[in-house]
Structure 1
Amino acid sequence: MKSQNLLIVTQKMDKNDPILGFFHGWVEEFSKNVEKLNVICLEKGSPREMSQGDNFAEGEIISQGSYNLPKNVQVFSLGKEQNKSKLKYIWNFYKYIFKLRKEYDAVFVHMNQEYVLLAGIFWKILGKKVMLWRNHQNGSWLTNIAVDMSDVVFCTSPSSYTFKFKKTKLMPTGINVEKFMLENEPTRVSGSILSMGRISSVKKIDVLVRALLHLDSKGFEFKVDIVGDRDPKEPQYYDLVKELAELLVKKGKIQFKDSVPNTKTPQEYFSHELFINLTSSGSLDKTIFSAMISGDLVLVCNTFFIGVLPEQFIFKDGDVYDLSSKIKAILEMDNFKKRKVIEEMKKYVMEKHSVSVTIKMIMNTI
């Protein structure tokens, strides 16, 4: 296994990024399974010194930007952090894959099919094995071509567009469980609810607010933190949600908070009792599994979790009243039942969805 050299192509290398910071842990895990690892990313973090809080053995880590990676890892940016043009991105991409061609045996493209479309033929000529991770529900003829140019495709959900292809393998979500092993856990506030992620229409935060308004009208007590930034693609949605929640904000029942660095997300999960995710079936939101391993109760509408979660932890997609009734039922559940569900969910994530399990499955396909 260690004799393999790997090239990874991804969006961003920045351990603090609220959305993509998780991939730093993936690269660390990949590095344990290869002799040499090169990473090409569209963007990387700003230069900084390694902090005293970084949990790595002395002499083992190269510190560059907001990522700390083992010595067998090199990171090459296409230049988005320097505001390079798209033509420059493409030029740099071709420059790196050619320059490094003798330093990798296989390629793992994470999330962006465009890189397979740009370089698939080049990699085939050189005999490089191409692995594409793509988990979007929608696809096109370009996706079909990218799949055809790949040797193997990975996705986490049967609802993914790529699941239908014979070369596709269904995968775990790849949660860095060690990140959620806190020495000093924050106090978990009883009756507290957390929503985490960019505030966009696909996340359906308006449905959550409407359910909370219904509970408030019945005199039910709760405290909700909605953590996430405005989606720049639809800024008006954030304004809609804030306006809808105005009464509950005034009552102190809802608080909107900016996104937090990926490295700080465990503190958010650990300080809440219930995590709610309203994303429809079709993809698997990593925040759900992060909440599980953190000891949160989770409430979802994704049909993937039928048979994984007890029935009372799955609500009807978009149904305000079903959501509100299940929030109330979960928060009023006796502590023994809560602890039992929490322990089962932690075990499930550890055994089925850890990053170590995920990376080993990927490496076994090379």
Structure 2
Amino acid sequence: MRAGVARERVAGERRVAATPESVGQLVSLGCDVLVEAGAGVEAGHSDASYSQAGATVVSTLEVDDLDVFLHVRPLTPDFVARLPSGAITIGLASPSAELPTVLALAEANVTAFALELVPRISRAQSMDALSSQALVAGYRSVIEAAIRFPRFFPLYMTAAGTVPPARVLVLGAGVAGLQAIGTAKRLGARVSANDVRPASADEVASMGATFVHLDLDAQTEGTGGYARELGQDRAALQRELLAPHVAAADVLITTAAIPGRPAPLLVTTEMVAGMKAGSVVIDLAAETGGNVEGAVAGADVAVATRAGDGSVTLVGMKDAASSMATDASRLYAKNVANLLALMVTDDSADGGADRGATGPALTLDFDDDVIAGACLTHDGVVRHAPTIELLNALEGAR
């Protein structure tokens, strides 16, 4: 059973789908692991460390002879065409944004597992890459804010006077938001947070932050622990109710996301302009449209204050998890290896995906909620219902 890991080609991507630690796990599963030279360098892992863990480091990864291909970023149709029929891929797929690749995977008879689709159930937590990478992004967002903020985060009482703590507002209390809250608290800031899901109030309080209650009078709890997208009227009301809290904040961090959809607009330019000069806004959702109007992924934008006394720095985060590639890869690679472990058996007679290899084999049990939920394509067809709907809509529009 041959598993391959290549160097990521997307500009700015420093993570790797397998670390020397996870290679050890893959080898223990019976995998012959092939790692492209330089694949882990940006994440702090030398080729020698992979060899010591039991992998074979190759100058060129020949993907047409692999049983399993592990990756971070979504694949391209051209790359998919190089994979052998019956191969398995595990990685982030962004199916709603990568429909040509989804079609290519089905046409190539590749079984693709998208880590975004891993069900949010207890026994799948060790495979939940969205959560592990959001953890990294939430931490990084606070560090980026602290670097740009022209004041201290904590309270200081000195002989020269008292320095008040920074007031940090976090919008969205999922994994990234909670990590942002915890990091800002550890830096000594006074933290408040809001999420449209009422159940998140207890989680925010448990982190030592103040929950900002908004009377939206709407069903806001979605599936899989995510928030439900608000209608236009409720979204406008949400922004109106948030405006005074945004204006009072020194640092605003937005983390709201809805899988498979553009990020919801939570903060307008007018709301940002109402903040104090020197304030910082970090938009973690900038790559998917942004929670903050005017955010540009990978750029800092100066927004003039309404008072005319300066500007607010609006930071559109890009590759947030990749910016901390060592720990992000450590967590991600473990997610990948744990998902693959569900598919490994000692007997390939159950109709699995083994293509003639001896020893441990890959067997796909679609009665398993995790296997079935995470599978994007298999046996020449697309299995993920929302992606099927998007493909049908695209076909109907032609």
Shorter-chain TM band: 0.3 to 0.5
Larger RCO: Structure 1 or Structure 2 (Cα < 8 Å, ≥ 6 residues apart)? 2
| Structure whose CA Rg is larger | 2
TM-score (norm: length of structure 2): 0.35
TM-score (norm: length of structure 1): 0.38
